[in-house]
Amino acid sequence: MKIGLGVRIVDTLVIRGLKIHTLIGTLPLERELKQILLLDLTLHTNIQKAAEEDNLQHTIDYAEVCKVVVQFGESSSFQLIETLAERTACLLLEKFHIKALRVSVRKPGALREAAEVGITIERSAVP
């Protein structure tokens, strides 16, 4: 079944718990040892053509997204998880056909009193 004009299409690709090992933080010890961060990505796109044709070329290749994010994250050395989230969002919007996205970066064990701390940002492509 093909969806006609006038129908709003909102398709979401979700990647949860993507692990990266990176230098992150402001404390001297954090600048010496890589830590594990967990990323959750929510990518908004239109999968209609991919679904109709059952063809990966018409959608976002989530394996490639993971590869790009892991390579970027593991080669970075930011002080703030906010910076990592922002730069990751910009990279994904530039490299893939994404209308909008949400990037969450979680840092397990950052505080003794909390299981994890994190930041979530949402960005959209400029039309």
Q: Which residues are catalytic?
A: 107
Q: What is the CA radius of gyration of the chain?
A: 17
Structure tokens at 101: 């996205």
Q: In angstroms, what CA-CA distances link 56 with 31, 47, 67?
A: 39, 10, 16
Max CA separation in the chain (angstroms): 58
Q: How many whole angstroms separate alpha carbon 8 and alpha carbon 106?
A: 32
Q: How many C-alpha atoms does 102 have within 13 Å on its Cβ side?
A: 11
How would you classify residue 39: left for phi > 0, otherwise alpha for psi between -120 and 50, otherwise beta? beta
